Structure 1
Amino acid sequence: MEIGISTFVETTPDPHSGKVVSHAERIRQVVEEIILADKVGLDVFGVGEHHRKDYAASAPALILAAAATQTSRIRLTSAVSVLSSDDPVRVFQDFATLDGLSNGRAEIMAGRGSFIESFPLFGYDLNDYNELFDEKLDLLLKLQASEKVTWSGKHRPSINNLGVYPRPVQDPLPIWIGSGGNSESVVRAGILGLPLVLAIIGGNPAQFAPLVDLYYRAGEHVGHDPKKLTVASHSHGFVGETTESAADAFFPSTQYAMNVLGKERGWGAYTRETFDAARSENGALYVGDPRTVADKIIALRKNVGITRFMLHVPVGSMPHDQVLRAIELLGTEVAPLVRKEVAEWEAR
């Protein structure tokens, strides 16, 4: 059972003071967070790609590379790389370089992206949203499989028996598929035999169990060994000394960020009642003291079947020392509880 962190490197205004941390400072803070996550024994750290003012991570591989030589065991992944609006050759080269710097700890998490700012920025038509991802994923997998590639498609110039370098330390370089819970993307991952990451950020997490089952059935249908298929989850949350202090610390920035997105996407207002319902036993927020958060992760393992859990913290901007403390508690208290109890449960 792997436990880790994901971040979008948020730079929203502090909900109390209105102060906004600069992109440069927030990027440096995230490097510190990765180094701490490695130190306290977490398994993976993911940085998500965005192209807007309130997120500083337009180049996740660069941020991860800054931490690669200052860490020793933590795996380093995008969360996600918006493959549809990027060049798969450059994505592969960036993460192969990261793999070299980290001596074999890099991963790519490829997704369509729930934010669309990168499409006009790089000259892509949103009408091609699905086709772009399918085509570019096909090329990325060919790059993963072979040093020299011959490929042709509609949205990128053809490649005729050309080598792509550097080659990664890992063979193959891991490529995960990120999904917001769309059955089509789950089936695709299963058919391709690729590990799957589900963004479980709303509703009852147990409702994702049928999607996990669909993923395994799709993979087995085409002959993949189910023991080699892997499912991870990414969920918002925060670990504090007590459950109430964790909730009080995490709510203001979460409310601010969710209401910004809600206004853009036509959602209702995000209130304390919404937040408290989501952090209840059957909600998708993993907020509380170490025991509370551990119990919810263990339930997710038992009820849904995930084998990697990534806590997304912060949502919106929080004081850096609070984020560091949450990472420390996740690594030193939550993760040992989860690993021990999951191992005991599976041994029965």
Structure 2
Amino acid sequence: MKFLAITLIVHRPDPVTGVRKPTQDRFREVLDNAVLAEELGFDGFGVGERHERPFLSSSPTVVLSHVAALTRRIRLFTAVTTLSLLDPVRAYEDYATLDHLCAGRLDLIIGKGNGTAQRELFQVTPEDQWDRNAEGYEVFRRLWRQDRVTADTRFRPPLKDAEVWPRPYQRPVRVWHGSATSKESVDLAARYGDPLFSANVTNPVEPYAELIRHYRERWEHYGHDPARIAVGAGSAGLYVAPTSQQALKVYRPVFESNLAFQKRTGLPVVFETLEDFVERSSALIGSPQQVIDKVHRYHEQLGHTVQHVQADAGGLTDTEHRDSLELFQSAVAPALRREIPDPPFPWAPVLPPTQE
């Protein structure tokens, strides 16, 4: 199993202290967390893309380029690239450039994105967002593979024998499809034989497991080898402590503050108590053995071979956050790496024979 640390660069007051860091300090925190993730042995670091309050992740290529300069080994992920909002030609240029700068350490997770405000900002409607996502991916995919592209597009000016630079480093970049609630995203992934990344954050496991079963069915429908399926899954929170009692004690103020925020802002509340959150959500909170057991329970439902955890402290102190990540990597990750297989492809740049 492989492990990613991911941030959406949420910028709101700390759920426990109520203090909101200056914007520059928040970006510095992201960079520090990326360096820490590599230092501790995580396999990937991901940055989201959102174009609305309270997120600072509107330019993931810029952030990941800086992360690329500070790191050497860790793979860089987007989480997710919102192709329904973007011009696929411009997105290709940005990500092909980033892929050269990081020497082929880039993986993309694409999706239509969430949020009414960012959809309105880019004048995308609920009726056309899936068509935009599918068309954007088709063009993006062809640009990465073909030196010249002709495409009769609906949502951007048509392309006629278009040549777009730079030409890619990876041939091609690996693209995962982010999935939260819709069969459209899993069908698009299955159609192209691409890996799937389940959000697996807001609800209990059942709706996510149902979508992944649909993905597997569509994968076989499109004639792909079932042995080549790769699934990743998110988590709703992370705090690993030597004992379950300590984990609950430390995480309780974080949960209660987040619960109050959900109620105050009218967000749906799925888990009313910390105990229910720990038991039925995807949050990895508890002793090392409890976290290992929970990932196994989710693996039985999802069959995932990549797991993401939060890169941010999210209400924990810096010391609590670092101690948790260190314990995760020293006592949890080694067991899961032994017991759950890796994805069915190399965790390395995708290069043609002349570059290997």
Regarding TM over 0.5, the answer is yes
Unpaired stretches in structure 1, ≥5 consecutive residues:
344-348
Q: CA deviation at 1:178?
A: 0.3
Q: Alpha carbons of 1:136 and 1:325: their partners in 2 closer, same or farther (altered >3 Å)?
A: same
Which residue of structure 1 lines up, in the alignment, with residue 338 of structure 2? 340
Q: Give the percent of matched residue pairs that are identical in Structure 1 and Structure 2.
A: 30
Say whether residues 1:243 and 2:244 are aligned partners. Answer: yes
Which residue of structure 1 lines up, in the alignment, with residue 142 of structure 2? 142
TM-score by length of 1: 0.88
TM-score by length of 2: 0.87
Q: In the alignment, is the contact (CA less than 8 A) between 1:206 and 1:300 conserved in 2?
A: no
Equivalent residue runs for 1:114-263 within 5 Å: 114-205=114-205, 208-241=208-241, 242-257=243-258, 260=261
Q: CA deviation at 1:22?
A: 1.8
Q: CA deviation at 1:206?
A: 5.4
Q: Alpha carbons of 1:63 and 1:151: their partners in 2 closer, same or farther (altered >3 Å)?
A: same
Q: In the alignment, is the contact (CA less than 8 A) between 2:49 and 2:82 conserved in 1?
A: yes
* Separation (CA, whole Å) in 2 of partners of 1:265 and 1:143: 42
The amino acid that maps onto 1:276 is: E
Which residue of structure 1 lines up, in the alignment, with residue 282 of structure 2? 284
Q: What do residues 15-49 of structure 1 show as CA deviations (whole Å, max 9, x unaligned)? A: 33321012221111111111111122111111111
Q: Alpha carbons of 1:225 and 1:168: their partners in 2 closer, same or farther (altered >3 Å)?
A: same
* Separation (CA, whole Å) in 1 of partners of 2:51 and 2:245: 34
Q: In the alignment, is the contact (CA less than 8 A) between 1:29 and 1:320 conserved in 2?
A: no
Q: What do residues 127-162 of structure 1 show as CA deviations (whole Å, max 9, x unaligned)? A: 422222122122122122223221121111111112
Q: What do residues 203-248 of structure 1 show as CA deviations (whole Å, max 9, x unaligned)? A: 4425543432321221122221222221110111213323333334
* Separation (CA, whole Å) in 1 of partners of 2:81 and 2:97: 15
Say whether residues 1:61 and 2:61 are aligned partners. Answer: yes
Unpaired stretches in structure 2, ≥5 consecutive residues:
342-356
Q: CA deviation at 1:119?
A: 2.0
Which residue of structure 2 lines up, in the alignment, with residue 346 of structure 1? none
Q: Alpha carbons of 1:262 and 1:184: their partners in 2 closer, same or farther (altered >3 Å)?
A: farther
The amino acid that maps onto 2:300 is: K
What is the number of residues matched between the two proteins? 340
Q: In the alignment, is the contact (CA less than 8 A) between 2:195 and 2:230 conserved in 1?
A: yes
Q: CA deviation at 1:190?
A: 1.0
Q: CA RMSD in A?
A: 2.4
Q: Give the one of 304, 312, 325 matched to 2:302.
A: 304
Q: Alpha carbons of 1:50 and 1:246: their partners in 2 closer, same or farther (altered >3 Å)?
A: farther
Greater Cα offset, 43-52 or 253-262: 253-262
Q: Alpha carbons of 1:46 and 1:248: their partners in 2 closer, same or farther (altered >3 Å)?
A: farther
Q: CA deviation at 1:283?
A: 3.3
SS at match of 2:235: strand
SS at match of 1:197: strand
Greater Cα offset, 298-307 or 153-162: 298-307
* Separation (CA, whole Å) in 1 of partners of 2:331 and 2:92: 35
